[in-house]
Amino acid sequence: MDFMQFMDVILHVDKSLGFLIKEYGTLVYMVLFLIVFCETGLVVLPFLPGDTLLFIGGAFCATGEMNIWLLMGMLIIAATTGNTLNYWIGSVIGHKVYTHDYRWLDKKALQRTHAFYEHHGGKTIILSRFVPIVRTFAPFVAGVSEMTFSKFQFFNITGALMWVVGLVSAGYFFGNIPIIRDHLNTIVLVGVGAAVVPVALGGLWKFYRKMRGV
């Protein structure tokens, strides 16, 4: 298998995980670890699969081809350490990302994530776990914005646990139901919306009360 074929397999892991298991055996855990680590740790790789990888991995655990506890443990570590690396990169580069033109950086995605971060604060680190692209940029923005490391790690670890355990478990119990498997991204985004909308409405209500002097 050449590099381009391997990348195609990785990018379509929802269809190729069975092939990876047969081809690499137990090394598939390390392959999935590296995918999640790179997707969450490097802002140049936001296109790598995240939600689908966790969900399909859970589905294969249900068939006995993978161990759910080993998979969860390795992916939680990958998601946590990936975000930590991304945070440190952001803290080192600092505010120059907003004034310099870095070819390797998607400025639109960065600005979109920054706006999300400004609105939701530390909760962004948790909520962004369930939103592709934003998930990759959120820890980077936290580093640029100089969020304290201890506060970042609290949200980082909490988000990693919720993301990995939630989606792997969902895949384990529902991953072999076609309608759920085929509409995973929509289901995840609806779930995130259900979490974000009450927070946004609460913020608007507080703003309204402040304007009214209540």
Check whether 182 has a pLDDT greater than 80: no
The conformation of residue 49, written as its DSSP 8-state character, comes to: -
Average pLDDT over residues 18-45: 89
| Beta carbons of 122 and 147 less than 8 angstroms apart | yes
d(CA 96, CA 102): 10
Query: Which pLDDT value is given to residue 173?
Result: 85
Domain housing 49: 3-212
pLDDT (tens digit per residue) in 106-133: 667 677 777 767 666 678 788 888 888 8
Tell me how many domains the chain contains: 1
- pLDDT tens for each residue of 63-105: 888 999 999 999 999 999 999 999 999 888 876 766 666 666 6
Distance in angstroms (rounded) separating the CA atoms of residues 158 and 115 = 22
Q: How confident is the prediction for the chain on average, in pLDDT?
A: 78
CB-based contacts of 110: which residues, under 8 Å, 6+ apart? 43, 97, 137, 140, 141
| 186 CB-near residues (< 8 Å, 6+ apart) | none
Measured from the Cβ of residue 118, the count of other Cβ atoms closer than 10 Å reads 11
User: CB-based contacts of 77: which residues, under 8 Å, 6+ apart?
Assistant: 33
